[in-house]
Chains A and B, each alone.
Chain A
Amino acid sequence: MTSTSQRPRASSRRREAAQADRDVQRAASMRQRNYRGRARAADVMGILCWVSVALSIALYLAYSGGSQLTDAGGVVTAVGIVTGLAGTDLILIMLVLAARIPWIDHTVGQDRAVALHRRLGKPALYLILAHAVLLTIGYSISDGTNVIAETVGFFGLGTDPILAYLGLALLLLVVVTSVVAVRRHFAYEAWHLIHLLSYIAVLVALPHQLSMGGVLADGTLQRVYWIALYVAAFGSILVFRFAVPIVRTARHRLRVDRVDVIAPGVFSLQLRGTELRRLGAEGGQYAVWRFWSWRTWWHAHPLSFSAMPTDRTVRLTVRELGRGTARLSRIRPGTFVSIEGPYGIFTDQARSAPYLSVIAAGIGVTPIRAMLEHASLRPGEATILLRGTDQSEAYLWHEIGQIAQNTGVSAFSMLGPRPRHVPTWMSAHALANGITLESTFPHLLDSDLFICGPTAWAEEVVADARDAGMPEHRIHLERFDS
């Protein structure tokens, strides 16, 4: 009797476990397909970038066919024209990368797009500078004059070349203030204001491109293509950086509901609005928020959702890191809030493996908290490690513990400072006990690893993950510094 009653129970449990395992695998293969699709889209983007540069060179070739390459002056002039076209093309690509186009954000993530945007800055400037220098030299060789006379001659050609020089000066200013060493001396807002001048720099350079040389002559296909590039770049900026945020802000009518202090220097902002599900936010995403009070409106805050938005409420959890965030802790309920976003692929959507490994430190738990809430986890699918120097850094840990309990996934914590002279993400105690990333996360190589915390700490986790043999696309990193 007992044996017969026990057998079916045991087998049904086994069947359940097998079913859960199959579900995990099925979800994993779907994620794998998603990942391949995204990787392909990312490849297409890369190819498009290169082809657009090639096209800018082809524009010149289609115009001259190499007929200019007969003497020294002609060669220098030709190289000068090509560097100008390629440099402008790069700047237009940079605008597109900074436009926060949803397709780009979903595919590679806005942070990678911005990283590429930064990397293109200097090459673009060098190309444009080379363009100005080479054309002046090339023209002066052809004309049998000197560089100074040629430069003076440019200013006699009407307003177009003067505007071009103005654009070059603005571009120099923008790139120089963005070099890390220089940028540190500017407040973010000041730097950002200067950075906006790049729009003007690119626009005032357009007239001379159309009138100075014959490459983009009136009535040619080249001119149509070039203007289309400008329209696409500035159009995407206008739509996705201005129109969409304004529409969303107007639609959701967000206001500060209350400020909850959850630890010294850490607080949650509860916002209230309407139709917030239409934002389509995913757990782990962030948005750029602006709080329209007298003392805070000029400061845009990129903050992660620390819980999934409901239709009426949004929660953000913030740690005071500077004067800007300190002011937020004293913000009055009822303050109007504008939103740009949501952005980011630090989400369940970015996974490509059957299992999930999550590690967060300090205030880095905020996106993790929302991501875990959003991901429909099966028992045993995820392992979570929360890291803090001491108990005072255990922000939202009880909430994550609750999610872990409800979904049947395991959550651990590791408390204690890092050892002084050993580069590691672990506590000195854990290191001494021989704990490793692999021992913490049983399915590490069969999982996606989500890391969120201070940059230096997170880099240590990434290094360990690489050493363990994790492929790059399964390491998901969100830096939390400022």
Chain B
Amino acid sequence: MRKRAIAASVVSSSAVILIGWQIGAQAQSADTSLSAAAPARTSAAPATSSPQSSARASTTPTATPEPSTAASAPSATSAPSESPSAASTDGTYTGSSVNTRYGTVQVQITVSAGSITDVTALQLTDSDSRSVQISNRAAPVLRQEVLAAQSANVDSVSGATYTSDGYLKSLQSALDQAGL
């Protein structure tokens, strides 16, 4: 009786652990396919406006000689919400919000004279305290890297994969709107 009980414990415990693992693995793959779909959405949105914005982009360097960042910001804040077609290069652009398993990520960029002068995180992964902790650590690093590279083509922060992915995806959509 005792031996059978031990055997039953081992078998049922292993089964429970395996099922847990399976559920987790499935959730993971669903997650990655979800986040794979997310960039498709974000790239699709700017794709419609990309011909216009690229056309604008070619004209912008000459059109905006003054590099005053602070002055241009308030006037342009409403620009992205109105329509991308109205986008001038200077101003702020809000990226699409990207859903990750740890929460939604959304960034806003400030563009001046064709370059990114600031990145603000409107929303970061915050589903739990640990995510908040990670976000708070990753966001300044990502901002610094993006400002240095002037693109979304930067390394993600180690230990903050989801936050980095969301951050950079949202950033890319903002860049697309700005035509950078």
Contacts and interface: CB of A to CB of B under 8 A. Distances in A.
A214 B128 contact: yes
Interface string A46-83: 11001101110111111111110001011000000000
Interface in B65-110: 101-102
Chain B binding site: helix, strand, loop or mixed by DSSP? helix
A213 interface: yes
Contacts of B23: 61-62, 65
B33 interface: no
B16 interface: yes
A69 to B, nearest CB: 11
Contact of A65 (B5, B12, B27): B27
- Interface band, chain A: 35 or more
Contacts of A157: 129, 132-133
Contact of A61 (B24, B127, B132, B158): B24
B128 A217 contact: yes
B129 A58 contact: no
Interface in A138-167: 139, 141-144, 153, 157-158, 160-161
B133 A73 contact: no
A71 B128 contact: no
B17 A73 contact: no
Contact of B16 (A51, A63, A144, A217): A51
A43 B132 contact: no
A58 B137 contact: no
A66 B25 contact: yes
B132 A143 contact: no
Nearest to B10: A50
B20 interface: yes
A213 B128 contact: yes
Contacts of A43: 1-2, 4-5, 8
A355 to B, nearest CB: 22
A55 B5 CA distance: 18
B17 A57 contact: yes
Nearest to B15: A54
B28 interface: yes
Most chain B beta carbons < 10 A, residue from A53, A58, A142: A58
Interface in A109-127: none
A62 B159 contact: no
Contacts of A139: 130, 133
A313 to B, nearest CB: 41
A373 B4 CA distance: 37
Given A47-B12, A50-B12, A211 B128 contact: yes
B27 A62 contact: yes
Contacts of A51: 9, 12-13, 16
A39 interface: yes
B14 interface: yes
Contact of A143 (B1, B8, B26, B137): B137
A142 B134 CA distance: 9
B159 A143 contact: yes
Contacts of B14: 54
A269 B149 CA distance: 88
B20 A61 contact: yes
B19 interface: yes
A214 B2 contact: no
A54 B12 contact: yes
Contact of A47 (B8, B28, B133): B8
A157 B17 CA distance: 31
A214 B101 contact: yes
Contacts of A64: 24, 28
A34 to B, nearest CB: 14
A71 B12 contact: no
Nearest to A73: B159
Contact of B17 (A58, A153, A208): A58
Contacts of A143: 133-134, 137, 159
A332 interface: no
B138 to A, nearest CB: 9
A13 interface: no
Of B12, B128, B137, B158, chain A has the most CB atoms within 10 Å of the CB of: B128
B137 to A, nearest CB: 6
Interface centre among B4, B132, B159 (most CB of A within 10 A): B159
Nearest to B16: A54
20 contacts: A42-B5, A46-B9, A47-B5, A47-B12, A50-B9, A50-B13, A53-B13, A54-B12, A58-B19, A59-B20, A61-B21, A143-B159, A144-B159, A157-B133, A161-B129, A211-B129, A213-B128, A213-B129, A214-B127, A214-B131
Given A61-B23, A64-B24, A139-B133, 9 more contacts: A51-B16, A53-B13, A54-B16, A57-B20, A61-B20, A65-B27, A143-B133, A143-B159, A211-B128
- Which A-B residue pairs are the 7 nearest by beta carbons? A58-B20, A65-B24, A142-B159, A54-B13, A43-B5, A61-B20, A50-B9
